[in-house]
Amino acid sequence: MTRTVFVNGQYLPEDQATVSVFDRGFLMADGVYEVVSVLDGKLLDFDGHMRRLARSLDALEIAHPMSDADWLAAHRRLVAENGVTDGLVYLQVTRGNPGDRDFAYPPAGTAPTVVMFTQSKPGLADNPQAATGLRVVTVPDIRWHRRDIKTVQLLYPSMAKMEAKARGADDAWMVEDGFVTEGTSNNAYIVKGGAIVTRALSNDILHGITRAAVLRFAREAQMTVEERSFTVDEAKAADEAFITSASAFVMPVVAIDEAAVGTGAPGPVARRLREIYLEESRHTAI
């Protein structure tokens, strides 16, 4: 099936959806993105993703190309036209096309480029990996220091993912000064003595929308949450580990650098949080 893709206000067949070779996103990775999950044809945590998009655009001084109402309409139209039941909507905003290559930003008034497309993922919420858990390896975190901005500079996370696969694992956790920052495309957690531990928000990590929701649900369920850094050794000695992201929801981690975490099987806290997150998110999906 040919997807319908959104480019700068137009809905086009994917083979006709193009942007300029001079686009700052292409030449400079000068752009930001968001990923909103779709379950039962509805958008999960849409408002949270819009708030973070605004924050990323403001941090890079890129003009807001559309209102939240326009974003919502575009998401819904793409989901409907592409028949997405379960899957995701990807959106990207770049600083636009100045018509040439230059390190200096283009003049104010240059229109940002907006691209959106969908990916269908039938059975997204029933991912069999939730039952087996992920194996992660650790890699140094050599990214830039504004990881709180959701930019399209994803080369290092891609390299880390490839290294994980080469080492027989599913994903990588990045480590800086001995402490875990986050996964290649997710936030990282451990559970020790019933307490859920995850790194505090700062410029060192992306402020995950799923993280915010999961921590809120955990606190509402009277679970203990500690927002602090943890070391790789602490993670290996934890009772449980897991990750969160918009498309993985809550996913258990069962091994770190080949050392089994806890029993080596998904733990009860991760399982419960996944259930709560899916139930609550479906409930509030729009």
Which of 89-97, 118-126, 203-211, 226-234 is the region at the interface with ligand PMP (rule: CB under 6 A)?
203-211
Options 94, 97, 245, 281; binder of ligand PMP; rule CB under 6 A: 245
Q: Interface with ligand PMP includes 206 (CB under 6 A)?
A: yes
Give me the least distance between CB of 263 and ligand PMP, in Å please: 26
Report the residue from 56, 118, 151, 185 that binds ligand PMP according to the rule CB under 6 A: 185
Structure token digits, residue 106: 């283009």
Q: For residues 134 and 251, is the Cβ–Cβ distance under 8 A?
A: yes
Tell whether residue 210 is a contact of ligand PMP (CB under 6 A).
Answer: yes
By beta-carbon proximity to ligand PMP, the closer residue of 4 and 235 is 235
**Minimum distance of ligand PMP from residue 136's CB (angstroms):** 13
Q: At what angle do helices 268-284 and 209-220 cross, to 10 degrees?
A: 110
Q: How far is the CB of 169 from ligand PMP (least distance, A)?
A: 17
Residue from the set 208, 252, 262, 266 that interacts with ligand PMP by CB under 6 A: 208
Cβ 79 to ligand PMP shortest distance, Å: 18
The number of residues that bind ligand PMP (CB under 6 A) is 13
Q: How far apart are CA 9 and CA 2, in angstroms?
A: 19
246-275 mask for ligand PMP (x: CB under 6 A)?
x-----------------------------
| Residues of the shown chain interacting with ligand PMP in the complex, contacts defined by CB under 6 A | 35, 182, 185-187, 206, 208-211, 244-246
